[in-house]
Amino acid sequence: MSQIICRISGEILYKSDLLLGFDLQNVHPVFQAKKSIILTPQWIFRFTDARSLAEKKLYYLAVLNSMDLITWKHPAYPDLQTIEFGMMQAMSMACWIDYAKYGIRDRIQFPEYVVDRENYQLLELPVWLDRLGEIRAYYLARDREDNRKREINEQSQKIENEFRAAGFIGQAFTLPLARWALEVADCPEEKYRRWLDILQTPLNEAWTFSSDAEKNELKEIHEFLQEKLPVTNDQCLAVLVQMRKLREASKWGYSEDGEEDGEDGEEDGDNEGAKVPKTPRPKPPSYQILQEDVMNPENYEIPPEPQFKDYVKPSEYYGAKALWDLLVKELKGGRRGNWKQF
């Protein structure tokens, strides 16, 4: 009695006493099916409906064989647990490899798997599938990054116009520019609205972020954009420049001691314990007005607008200029603390 055995599944395909004592090898017809039949949801349904181990094994091995990455030197005999737990992972990987071999074939090299007398139970196969999964994750992430760079380049002219508009209105970010920066950086949903409002703060009002919590939030936004935005894009680098400008503007008008700026009171490297003497500075004029002056603004003379040349440091000038602007606004019917809403 002679027989023909499938070299992949080990199933006996044909028995006869007329084959002159030869044991020949062939493959089961299921392994000759086209990928358009194997790599479909119907294949999974057939696998689920199968009632015998031999039938499930054929469906499972057909998916593995469709990758064209396995060399069969010995028929495979996986147990039921290996088949049940590995079928969905194998199907997912086979579908992606079928695409990758034609889409990114010149950029990728897949590891191969050899089935022989030592590993015919396919116990190490999940490790090999995990390795393929790592390769897939790497290339999918790179494709997403390429797509994002392409989208940014397509919107470059529009973003440049928004930078110019922000300079005209005295802000670091316009609404479209702030929204674009946060969306490109994948800003968390719970922080999106708050950060959007902060980025639109006018530069001459940024000094109101004086509390430690607000300063830490500005720093958090800056570090988040530095980490998430692609540094190879000119528009994203410009966003970081604008963010730095907003943080610097938040330091305008700090206390006269200069503790926040770090310019005064620093230790001299040559003289330990000695401090650099503070530069004498003129005392800014008082811009406080009484309630009766507000009721009778015609009797109150507005002090002259602060001039940059009269101050030692830019932070002193911008602080005095901000107070002067608030004073003029209050005398014209405005109210301190009534900031512009976006």
Radius of gyration of the chain (CA): 36
Q: In this structure, are 72 and 163 located in the same domain? A: no
Q: In this structure, are 140 and 163 located in the same domain? A: no
pTM of the full structure? 0.47
Q: In this structure, are 84 and 166 located in the same domain? A: no
Q: In this structure, are 68 and 124 located in the same domain? A: yes
The whole-number pLDDT of residue 271 equals 47
Nearest to 322 by CA among 262, 250, 227, 273: 250
- CA 267 to chain CA mean position, Å: 41
Report helix, strand or coil for 183.
helix
Q: In this structure, are 73 and 174 located in the same domain? A: no
- Report how many domains make up the chain: 3
**Where residue 276 falls among pLDDT bands split at 50, 70, 90?**
very low
Distance, in Å, from the CA atom of 157 to the CA atom of 239, rounded to the nearest integer, reads 14
Q: In this structure, are 137 and 171 located in the same domain? A: no
Which has the minimum average pLDDT: 74-83, 164-173, 193-202?
Answer: 164-173
Q: In this structure, are 118 and 209 located in the same domain? A: no
Domain of 311 in residue numbering reads as: 291-331
**CA torsion, ordered 130, 134, 136, 138, to nearest 10 deg:** 180
Domain end marker among 145, 179, 201 = 145
Q: In this structure, are 127 and 7 located in the same domain? A: yes
The whole-number pLDDT of residue 20 equals 64
Report residue 227 as tokens: 């980490």
Q: Which residue has the higher pLDDT, 280 or 38?
A: 38
Q: In this structure, are 211 and 316 located in the same domain? A: no
Report residue 83 as tokens: 């088949």
